[in-house]
Copies of this chain bind each other. A is one copy, B any other.
Amino acid sequence: MAEPSLQALVEALRRLPGVGAKSASRMAFHLLQHDREGAHVLSRALEQAARNVRHCSECHTFTEDEVCTTCRSPQRDRTKLCVVETPADQAALERTQAYNGLYFVLMGKLSPLDGIGPRDIGLGKLFARATNGEVQEVILATNFTAEGEATAHVIAEALKQKGLKVTRLARGVPAGSELEYVDLGTIAHALVDRRSR
Contacts and interface: CB of A to CB of B under 8 A. Distances in A.
A16 B8 contact: no
Interface string A20-47: 0001011111111101101111111111
A15 interface: yes
A179 interface: no
- Most chain B CB within 10 A, of A18, A23, A32, is at A32
A-side interface size class: 35 or more
| Identical copies of this chain, number | 2
A88 interface: yes
Interface string A40-69: 111111111110110000000011100011
A42 B9 CA distance: 7
Interface of A: 1-6, 8-9, 11-13, 15-18, 23, 25-33, 35-36, 38-50, 52-53, 62-64, 68-70, 86-88, 91, 107
7 contacts: A1-B87, A3-B53, A31-B50, A32-B62, A39-B46, A39-B49, A40-B50
A47 B53 contact: no
Given A28-B49, A32-B49, A33-B107, A15 B38 contact: yes
Given A16-B42, A18-B26, A40-B46, 17 more contacts: A2-B70, A3-B53, A3-B62, A5-B53, A8-B45, A8-B48, A9-B46, A12-B46, A15-B31, A15-B42, A16-B38, A17-B27, A18-B27, A25-B91, A33-B107, A42-B46, A43-B50
